[in-house]
Amino acid sequence: MSGPVLEFARVTRRFGAIVAVSDVTLSLGAGLVGMLGPNGAGKTTLLAMAAGLLKPSSGVVKVFGRTHEEDRGHGLRVGYVPDSDALPADDTPVEFVAFLLECQGWTQEAARKLASDTLERLGMGEAMGRRLGDLSRGQRQRVKLAQAIAHRPDLLLLDEPLNALDPLTRIDVANLLRDEVARGACVIVSSHILQEVEALTQDVVLVFHGRLVACGPLPDIRALLDRVPHQIRVTCDRPRDMARELMQHDAIASARIDPDGTVLVETNRPDVAYPSIPLAARSAGTLITELRSPGEDLQSIFQILVGELR
């Protein structure tokens, strides 16, 4: 598949007075792309417009070079996994997936076989005959994935697809998505978890407050994220001595004591700063009881990036 699969040209989407997506321009071809941003960033709205479920308030969304209005057959080439869970409780997984395939033109017999094969591929062999309402959240997530990939779409839009999946199933799903890419599909996976995206792909789109913050290979995005001051919160029994010792290390930009008695450390070199903390604790004669990174959440990281890129 050559050329762009999905294009946004100055796309804005409003819900009343709320601007969910603001002036986004983006072009994606075949391959696996991670759409990364905190909850409420606009990822779901972007994917819904790409799937043709929402119209942009302004701007143009094109799939395979045409808008959804120009080509009503886009649905046959697009697979979509919504973040929401609204599966029919009384259907079985195989009935549900087969029904959607029949709606796309497959015969009843062919749809049933393809639905069964796809569910087997996702480890749902033993559960495909049970009621959807009786399944676990993780099993229901796999059914959502099955209905999205059963018809072998050229564009696969996945909104938080790894939610509720156990670690082994996540590995299986990651391999499945790579298989889809290998046959030439464009796969877009949204997530609010940086490590989740890193495990899947090297190509990342950063979204925050409805805006496109950055887009490119993961090393370039990592370089942007690494410019953001990294915070480490240290809880110990001698915070003043700990703060004083930490400031002796070059990788520590600042160390201050918060009202709750913890030491808040800032650094632009976390890889060097973390090994410095136990050394400082030993020099200060203090015992560390907790170590955490409040500044690692995407909300704080993206807030700083947006300020820098204005």
Q: For 238-270, how does the pLDDT look when each residue is reduced to its tens digit (9 = 90+)?
A: 999 999 999 999 989 999 999 999 999 998 887
Say yes or no: 197 and 231 in one domain. no
For CA atoms 27, 202, 52, 17, give the dihedral sign. Answer: negative
- For residue 145, give both structure tokens: 């994935």
> CA 299 to CA 166: how far, in whole Å?
25
Q: How many CB atoms lie within 10 A of CB 134?
A: 12
Say yes or no: 26 and 112 in one domain. yes
Say yes or no: 60 and 190 in one domain. yes
> CA 193 to CA 28: how far, in whole Å?
21
What's the domain count of the chain?
Answer: 2
Could you identify the residue written with the tokens 């990281």? Answer: 301
Q: What is the CATH number of the domain that holds 240?
A: 3.30.70.100
Q: How far is CA 170 from CA 31, 53, 173, 182, 264, in A?
A: 19, 27, 5, 18, 35
Question: What pTM does this model have?
Answer: 0.77
Say yes or no: 70 and 170 in one domain. yes
Q: Is residue 45 part of a domain?
A: yes
Contacts of residue 105, defined as CB under 8 A and 6 or more positions apart, other chains included, come to: 76
Which of 215, 238, 259 finishes a domain?
Answer: 215
Say yes or no: 285 and 157 in one domain. no
> CA 29 to CA 6: how far, in whole Å?
7
Which of 186, 215, 244 finishes a domain?
Answer: 215
**In this predicted structure, which of 63-77, 87-101, 213-227 has the lowest mean pLDDT?**
213-227
Q: Is residue 222 part of a domain?
A: no
- pLDDT value of residue 297: 47
Q: By residue range, what is the domain housing residue 268?
A: 227-309
